[in-house]
Amino acid sequence: SSIQVFAPATVANVVCGFDVLGFAVNEPGDEVIMRRTNKAGITISKITGDDGRLPLNPAKNTVSVSVQHYLQSIGRTDIGLDIELHKKMPIGSGLGSSSASTVAGLFAIKTLMGDDTDASTLLPFAMKGEEMACGHGHADNVAPALMGGFVLIRSYEPLDVVRLPHPANLWCAIVFPDVDVPTREARQIIRNKIQMKDAVTQWGNIAGLVSGLFMQDIDLIGRSMKDVLVEPVRSMLIPDFYVMRELAMEMGAVSFGISGSGPSVFAFTRDEDTAKRITAKLQQHLTSIKIGSNAYVS
């Protein structure tokens, strides 16, 4: 038997909720095709859309490793599986690329095994995949990819994940500046200690954002999406971040920020047309700026 599963791209952090908030988008998303085979163990027969960057070795690929963890947990390492992975988004883009693949793989094996427990039971396995991909098992991409919509990670230990509502007329524009920002490195540059006054600003904003989601108050959502902790540092890795923000806000965006660890950026809008116009404008801007190299000793 064989199964084909889609898992969506996700926007982690949602500006002020570093490691605790994320939402899923309708597209793009990755696809996994999983087949039962006769020989015990996992093989990966094909990966497309990765420019040859992902390992076919099942001991090194986050999808197969997470699936293997799942099989161990249910005591079924006897079964044989072959995996095809079709990537539909760039790696290291800040769109939860590794999460989408891992979640698709886990959802596929859960379904093949006839396991009808809630999808959220897969979260610990998906988080292990994230840990392998970037050195840290955050859940703000994998949880929304698994559960859909907006998700809050209220606590990591113990894991406590809460689905949040959102206004029906909230749209999202996303663009990907074509620079490589590995999450591992984007996490290393963040400050370890923060000032109390910054913490106060941040928790006011995140409480405001969550309230806005419940109250369907897009103005409150917009004015709460400010980040004094992470964005000031990470924005330096993104070409023309503040210019793009100004362009988006001038065109009617409700908010603008970094998607996950970047370099993708996103804007919320009140309608689809504005989201499309902002995407087009930012894409046009990005192709017209020249991205130079850093200084180096030659």
Please list the active-site residues: 130, 183
Q: Is 47 left (phi over 0), alpha (psi -120 to 50) or beta?
A: beta
Q: Which is nearer to ligand HSE, 31 or 140 (CB)?
A: 140
From candidates 31, 82, 140, 227, binder to ligand HSE by CB under 6 A: 140
What is the closest distance, in whole angstroms, from the C-beta atom of residue 40 to ligand HSE in the complex? Answer: 34
Closest CB 98 distance from ligand HSE, rounded Å: 9
Binding to ligand HSE (CB under 6 A): which residues in 96-125?
96
> Which range, of 11-19, 33-41, 148-156, 195-203, touches ligand HSE by CB under 6 A?
11-19
CB-based burial label for 3 (10 Å; 0-12, 13-18, 19+)? middle
Neighbouring C-beta atoms of residue 185, cutoff 10 Å:
14
Instruction: Tell me how far CA of residue 65 lies from CA of 61, 223, 253, 271, in angstroms.
Output: 6, 41, 40, 40
Q: How many residues bind ligand HSE (CB under 6 A)?
A: 13
Task: Identify the CA nearest to 7 among candidates 109, 122, 133, 104.
Answer: 104
Token pair 């409700």: residue = 254
Residue from 183, 224, 235, 264 in contact with ligand HSE (CB under 6 A): 183
CA distance 227 to 44: 40
The residue range among 27-35, 61-69, 108-116, 183-191 that interacts with ligand HSE, by the rule CB under 6 A, is 183-191
Q: Are 230 and 13 in contact (CB under 8 A)?
A: yes
> Could you give the angle at the alpha carbon of 90 between the alpha carbons of 172 and 271, nearest 5°?
10
Please choose, out of 111-119, 134-142, 217-225, 276-284, the segment that lies near ligand HSE by the rule CB under 6 A.
134-142
State the helix-helix crossing angle for 272-288 and 241-250, rounded to 10 degrees: 150
The CB-of-231 to ligand HSE minimum distance in angstroms stands at: 10
138 scored as a contact of ligand HSE (CB under 6 A): yes
* 66 contributes a contact to ligand HSE by CB under 6 A: no
Question: Minimal distance in Å, beta carbon 264 to ligand HSE?
Answer: 10
C-alpha 83/C-alpha 249 separation (Å) is: 43
Residue 22 phi/psi, 5-degree rounding, is: -160, 160
Residue 41: count of CB within 10 angstroms of its CB: 15
Minimum CB–partner distance for residue 28 and ligand HSE (Å):
15
Distance separating alpha carbons of residues 238 and 28, to the nearest angstrom: 21
Nearest distance in Å: CB 18, ligand HSE: 6
d(CA 12, CA 153): 11
Q: Select the residue interacting with ligand HSE from 69, 88, 166, 187 (CB under 6 A).
A: 187
Residue nearer to ligand HSE on the CB measure, 44 or 186: 186
Tell me which H or E stretch contains 265: strand 265-269
Q: Judged by CB under 6 A, which of 66, 68, 141, 255 binds ligand HSE? A: 141
- Binding string, residues 15-44; x marks residues near ligand HSE by CB under 6 A: ---xx-------------------------
Contacting residue, 5, 8, 13, 231, with ligand HSE by CB under 6 A = 13
**Contact call for residue 261 and ligand HSE (CB under 6 A):** yes
Residues of this chain that interact with ligand HSE (CB under 6 A) are 12-13, 18-19, 96, 138, 140-141, 183, 186-187, 260-261
